[in-house]
Structure formats: structure tokens, C-alpha cells
Chains A and B, each alone.
Chain A
Amino acid sequence: MKVVANYSIKGGVGKTTSAVNLAYEASISGARVLVWDLDPQAAATYFFRVKPKVKGGTSRLVGGKGELASHIRATDAPSLHLLPADFSLRHLDLRLDGTKRPLDRLASLLAPVADGYDVAFLDCPPSISLASESVFGAADALLVPVVPTTLSGRTLTQLADFLDGKRDAPTVLPYFSMVDGRKRLHRELMTTLRAAWPNFLPTSIPAASVVERMGPERAPVATFAPSAVATAAFHGLWTDVAARLWP
């Protein structure tokens, strides 16, 4: 099982919508997919129409009580399962801090279910914290959404500096998110950032109103807008990611 963390230090950059749509695209491409919603806001859980509840609390699970498998729920996509978020995740750092090897904790929780899935997406809360470090310890790749703004390059540099020299650090795969192709500044910044970061994935996700409709529809965009530009973009992004994971 490959572990992909959708991660950004910044919030509001389209991280969760990407995680949900990429997971869906992965599931219809033949992958058995697990999404672990680690964000106490539980947005991914909401989009999949699953109750944001884990018996005993996810935080307690991370702290060492119980096993992951019994909390996994099937979604309406036949190959896509979800470990829902709940509000106890706001104490995740505290719980991790109380474990013996906090940086390996998420990886060791995922290990028993690894044979049953091809890819796990971890939808992470925005920050650099102990929880983020545990995510880095579990992930093969960090998918980092980047809105083309002047400060985006700095955020990527912060992340790269943080991971620099760490043993078994995940591959950082940035991609442009919420892109408005009509804006000259977006176009220019994308060119500059691509030159500075050759690892940028080729596909960009546009800023599109159809993505906002995920809220009322409570579903990935491909299910209610299969012909939308954003749907094609998420499909393209998943193809880029899959090519890196299964060359």
C-alpha cells in the first residue's frame, strides 16, 4: 500500500477537495483506496456522507487503544473506504506525545490494513506539528497544493527545509491548485515556480465553481459533473501521481 498525504502548511488551498477527488479518481482507476480523515473539521468525512464518529474517538485510537480496521467505513464508491474524522482529533498532538514512538505511530496503525488497499490518502490538518511529523513518517509522498501567490514559494521552501536530512523523508509532489488562468500573475508565478521546483506535477487544478458544489452535493465532482474541466483536471492529477507511484 502506498501512502499519500495531502498536506499543506497553509489552509484554504484546496487540500481536502483534492484529497476527496483524487481518492475517487484512484478508486475508478482500479485502486483499492483508503482515505483517513485526520482533520478535526471532518470535511472529507462530510463529502463522503459518512457520520463523523469513531467509537472511543480517533485520538484514543492513535493513543494506543483499539485497531484501525474496525473503524473503517465503506463509501458509496465501491473501491473507496474511509476512516472518518471526529472532533477528538483536535487533541491528536497531545495523544501522540503520550505514545512511545510518536513519529512512527500513524505508520504502525496503518500497517495491519496495508494488504487490503493499494493506496491510502491521509487528509491532514494545515500546520507543522507532531501530527504532521507522524504523517511524514507514514507517507511515501506528500501531495502539496500550491495556490500561485507570491508567498507560495516560501511555504514550499519551509517544508523542504523541514524535511531536509530526515531519514526516509517522503517525496514532495507539489501541484498548482485553485488556478485562475485569466490572471497574468498566476501564469507568471506558475512559470517561475515550475522553474525553481522541477518536481511540480504537470496537471493543475483550476479554481472552479463546480468544486464548490461538492458541499451541497456531498460527493466528488466526477459523480455529479463528469464532463467538467475540474473533473478532467483531477483525473489528470491522479494520472500524474499514479505514474510516480507505479512507474
Chain B
Amino acid sequence: MEAISFTSSEHRLAKLSRALTDAGFVVGPWAPGRRTVLDTFDGRLHAAGLRLELSDLHRPELVLRGGGTAVSHVKVTAVPRFGSDLPQGPLRARLAPLLDVRALLPVLRVTGRQAVATLADGRGKREVAVVLHGGVVLDGVPGAAPVWAAEIDELQGYPKAAERARRVIRSIGLEPHGGDVLDLVAAAAGVDLRGYSGSPTVPLAPDEPALEAYRRVLANLAAAVERNRPGTIDAIDPEFLHELRVAVRRSRSVLSEAKRVLPAEVRARYREEFGWFGAVTGPARDLDVYVIEWPDYVRPLGPETVVALQPVLDHIARRRVAAYAELADALGSDRYKTTMATWRAWLQAGSPGEEVGRDAAAPIGRVAADRISVAQARMLSRGRTITEASPAEALHELRKDAKRLRYLLECLGGVLAPAPRKAFVQRLKALQDNLGEHQDTEVHAVQLRTFSHELFETGSAPAQTLVAVGQLAERFELRREAARKEFARRFGAYDTKETARSLDGLLRTALGS
């Protein structure tokens, strides 16, 4: 369907209705209804060129537009929240991978009336439809200006009929607009259908003073924390907490790398506070990961083992509910609110008479290049000392170094050329994936045995559950060992002259040379 909207008024729409009738269209009755655009918080469907709409003009129906001229329609009895709530079949097959763990949320809800004018051929086959939209407003917003519009529903293979509809509409002086009636209402109400972007990269001029640049970078991260806080507290989907924690870790990391720029007291205070944010949100995230990854964890196991592990999954689910209640308390606490209020105030205006670092006025391009160089050197230096005999802790420390470097590349990335930055991050990511697998599998094996111990202590799991936990933990152990063996190759592939040349080239873009 091709939709072309024409802004109009009640009077002009009535005139259009008469003109369509005169041109041979059959105008149907007006019917009230509500339409809701559903998307994830971060606009994944919009980014994929899709629009999912819940329409209750007749019966509740999901309508998915985009990805070709045919539009998907399916009647539903309840509003889907996750991909798994969509009816089984091709619609779910298309949407579920895009949504992943994210929830569908109403991003725009409108009410209004509509009538459909159709033109059919001699066989009674419809060749084009004109949808008349009367008094469409944002739902629940008193005083919102209503939108009057007409849309041409051009049917594939019938261009002449669509042209005839256009001629009728133009004959009464209506002008076309881009987008459909929902776009018109969204634009009038200032609703951005693109959704939230969690990008840590803000535009930076290489010669702007480092202090100002750091403030803008940290303000962007503070906004990410705040925007993800309500969804985290309400446990809408696990990505809110994940995004919040990533913004917190990035903030802490940027503060660590701002020694010669930000005032020492500010760095010390907020590093400690962001450390606390990380600590109070960690347990819930760890348990989220278990619940999300569980199907993959148990897939290689036999069906009897999977059944035997069910008490563990139930135990994790109970612990998760408790962990979310604790983090909701922490994120609603005075400590959290005071920290964020004072942090935002400092980011905006600083404090009178404070002593800033000696590089505060230096150009951010040079400061960013210095910090990234130091972080890279630190990581390579540690990595080169790691041998087969090194303890696991050495790899964990290297993982932290790699994260710090990654966060610098992302958060101060506004001074770097985008394409080489992306290529370098990919290079680093290959090493990070290995270090992540090594640490995560170790942590999971330890945690599983802790859960098993807790279940044993309370006598709430049969012996076969404890045996099954042993099997699963062993799989994590095997994966950890494989990652450990793979490490030398991955680090060797990263620690090359090519990587050094690539980084030098990237950093030159920050220095403007």
C-alpha cells in the first residue's frame, strides 16, 4: 500500500467525500477508532523501516507495514508485549529476531474517525481506496489540534485508478504531504518515532577545551542513566537495566580517564557514587543474563537434565524478583536522587572556585589521543605478560583494560573519524569477546554451584537437580578452558604492527593531521 496524506479540514473533507462520490467512488460509513503505534524503547522497528500498529477500528488487529508493498494483518485478542506474544507464524518470524528481549511499547496513540471510499472495476474488484481521516488527535491529550486528512491506498498493479484518486483530491485544492496521518499527528505533537538512542558518542570539535568536551560527554551518559531508570524500576524489559548499567560504567570509566581535566574532588565523589550504582544494579543484571541465556545454556543437554534443572531456574526467577525490588529501592533512594541532581548541576555549571586539572583548557583532540594511547599501551603491556601459567585474574584485569579502551574510543569518539574508528573497535571487539567468554563462563560456573548449594541447604531440590547442576557447571568449565586456550591466538592477532598502524592513523584524525 502506498499512503499519501493530504492535510485538510472538516469542511474540505466533506467536499472531498462528495467529489469522490461524483467520480464513481463508493464512500463507506464513518467509524470511530483508535490506532496505536508499537515499537521498542529504542525504535528497533522504525530503524528497520517497519511500522507496527494496533488498530481497533473494527476488531483489534495488528498491522505491519514496510518491507514490500503487501501489508501484514492479523487479528489479536491481547496487545503483544514481547516477540513471543505475537501469533506463531511469519509475522513472529519477522519481528521476534528484531525485538530480541525488548518489549513493545505504545509510542503513539491516536483516536479519530475514518471512512473508506473505494473504486471497483466491472468484476467488483477494488482498484483503489481513499481513506478519509476525521478529527484525529493524540489520545488522552485534551485540547490537541485535530488532524483532518485523506490517504490514497494505492493497490499494486492498479496505477491508473490511483491517479484518478489523485486527480479528484487535487481538484478540490488539497496538497500532498510526506508520510501518512500518523506521521502528521506525531509531527504536530512533537513525538519522535525514532525512539531512544543510547549512543555514547557526541559531536566534538578537536580544538574545543577538554573540560567542556568531557562535560558534554558525561552529560550525555547521565541522560542515558536517567532515561533508562523508569523502565528499569518497572522491569519493562532487561535492556533498560543493561543500558543503564552500561551508561554508569562508561561514566565511571570516563571519570577515571579525566585525571588532568576534571577537579579531583568531583572525580573522586562521582566515581564512588557510580561505583555504588554499579554495585546495587549488578545482581539483578546477572540474574537477567541467566534467564535470557538459559535456553542456550541447556540446549546441548538431554531433556531429562533440562527437567532436573527446572528448580534452579525457578530459584533464579525468585532471586531475580527480589533483586529487582532491591534495585528499585536503590534507584528511588535519596542517595540516587541527590547524586544525579548534583551531578547534573555540576555538569551544567561547575562549582565556583574549583580547581580544574591542568589539561582542562587543552584541546580535546590532543587529550583524547593521549588517553587512548595510554590505555592501549597499558593493555598491551599487561597482555604481553600473560602466559599459560598466569592466573585467571590476569585475564580479568586485561578485560577491564580492554573495556576502558573501548569506552574511550566510544565516548570520546566524537573527535575520531567514524569509519576507521568503527574498524578499530571491531579489531578490539574480537579480543574482548574472548576475554568476556573466559570470565563469564567462570562466573556462571561459580554462581551455579552457589545456587545449587542454596537449594541443597533449604532441601528444596532433589538429588538429580544437584547432579544436573554439576553437568551444566562442567559445560561452563569446558567453555572457559576453550576460551583460555584461544586467548594467546586472539591476543597475538591484536598485538600486531597493523593494529599499531591502524591506531596511529585513527588518532591522527583526532589531532587534525
Interface residues of A (CB under 8 A from B): 2, 26-34, 48-51, 71-76, 78-81, 113, 115-119, 218, 242-243, 245-246
Look across to chain A and name the residue whose beta carbon is closest to the beta carbon of B74. Answer: A30
Q: Is B123 in contact with chain A by the CB < 8 A criterion? A: yes
In the bound complex, do residue B73 and residue A79 qualify as a contact, i.e. CB atoms below 8 Å apart? Answer: yes
In the bound complex, do residue B70 and residue A116 qualify as a contact, i.e. CB atoms below 8 Å apart? Answer: yes
Q: Other CB < 8 Å A-B pairs besides A31-B89, A71-B157, A73-B155, 11 of them?
A: A30-B64, A32-B70, A49-B124, A51-B121, A74-B157, A75-B125, A79-B70, A79-B73, A242-B88, A246-B90, A246-B92
Look across to chain A and name the residue whose beta carbon is closest to the beta carbon of B155. Answer: A74
In the bound complex, do residue B156 and residue A246 qualify as a contact, i.e. CB atoms below 8 Å apart? Answer: no
A119 to B224, CA, bound (A): 41
A217 to B115, CA, bound (A): 25
A21 to B300, CA, bound (A): 40
Q: Which residues of A contact B67 (CB under 8 A)?
A: 32, 115-116
Say how far B60's CB is from chain A's closest CB, in angstroms: 13
In the bound complex, do residue A76 and residue B125 qualify as a contact, i.e. CB atoms below 8 Å apart? Answer: yes
In the bound complex, do residue B72 and residue A76 qualify as a contact, i.e. CB atoms below 8 Å apart? Answer: no
Q: Is B489 in contact with chain A by the CB < 8 A criterion? A: no
In the bound complex, do residue A32 and residue B71 qualify as a contact, i.e. CB atoms below 8 Å apart? Answer: yes
Q: Which residues of B contact A74 (CB under 8 A)?
A: 69-70, 155-158
In the bound complex, do residue B90 and residue A31 qualify as a contact, i.e. CB atoms below 8 Å apart? Answer: yes
Interface residues in B59-108 by Cβ distance below 8 A to A read 62, 64, 67-75, 86-94
Q: Which residues of B contact A34 (CB under 8 A)?
A: 70
Q: Which residues of A contact B91 (CB under 8 A)?
A: 29-31, 118
Q: Which residues of B contact A26 (CB under 8 A)?
A: 90
Say how far A1's CB is from chain B's closest CB, in angstroms: 9
8 Å CB contact of B93 from A27, A116, A117, A246: A246
Q: Which residues of A contact B75 (CB under 8 A)?
A: 28
In the bound complex, do residue A32 and residue B68 qualify as a contact, i.e. CB atoms below 8 Å apart? Answer: yes
In the bound complex, do residue A81 and residue B123 qualify as a contact, i.e. CB atoms below 8 Å apart? Answer: no
26 A-B residue pairs with Cβ-Cβ distance under 8 Å, sorted by A, are: A27-B73, A28-B75, A29-B74, A30-B64, A30-B74, A30-B87, A30-B89, A30-B91, A31-B72, A31-B90, A32-B70, A32-B71, A73-B156, A73-B157, A74-B70, A75-B125, A76-B125, A80-B70, A81-B70, A81-B157, A115-B67, A115-B68, A116-B69, A242-B89, A246-B88, A246-B92
A115 to B94, CA, bound (A): 11
In the bound complex, do residue A246 and residue B68 qualify as a contact, i.e. CB atoms below 8 Å apart? Answer: no
8 Å CB contact of B156 from A27, A48, A72, A245: A72
Q: Which residues of A contact B70 (CB under 8 A)?
A: 32-34, 74, 78-81, 116-117
In the bound complex, do residue B68 and residue A76 qualify as a contact, i.e. CB atoms below 8 Å apart? Answer: no
In the bound complex, do residue B68 and residue A117 qualify as a contact, i.e. CB atoms below 8 Å apart? Answer: yes
Known: A28-B74, A74-B155, A78-B73. Is A218-B124 also a contact (CB below 8 A)?
A: yes
Q: Is B1 in contact with chain A by the CB < 8 A criterion? A: yes
Say how far B162's CB is from chain A's closest CB, in angstroms: 11
A55 to B69, CA, bound (A): 20
8 Å CB contact of A119 from B86, B90, B158: B90
A74 to B154, CA, bound (A): 9
Known: A30-B91, A31-B90, A117-B70. Is A49-B123 also a contact (CB below 8 A)?
A: yes
Q: Is B508 in contact with chain A by the CB < 8 A criterion? A: no
Q: Is B126 in contact with chain A by the CB < 8 A criterion? A: yes
In the bound complex, do residue B125 and residue A50 qualify as a contact, i.e. CB atoms below 8 Å apart? Answer: yes
In the bound complex, do residue B89 and residue A29 qualify as a contact, i.e. CB atoms below 8 Å apart? Answer: yes
Q: Which residues of B contact A33 (CB under 8 A)?
A: 70
In the bound complex, do residue A76 and residue B126 qualify as a contact, i.e. CB atoms below 8 Å apart? Answer: yes
Q: Which residues of A contact B156 (CB under 8 A)?
A: 72-74, 81
Q: Which residues of B contact A246 (CB under 8 A)?
A: 88-90, 92-93
Look across to chain A and name the residue whose beta carbon is closest to the beta carbon of B127. Answer: A74
Q: Which residues of B contact A115 (CB under 8 A)?
A: 67-68
A78 to B58, CA, bound (A): 15
- 10 residue pairs, one from A and one from B, having the closest CB atoms: A116-B68, A30-B91, A30-B74, A73-B157, A118-B90, A74-B155, A32-B70, A49-B125, A31-B90, A49-B123
Q: Which residues of B contact A117 (CB under 8 A)?
A: 68, 70
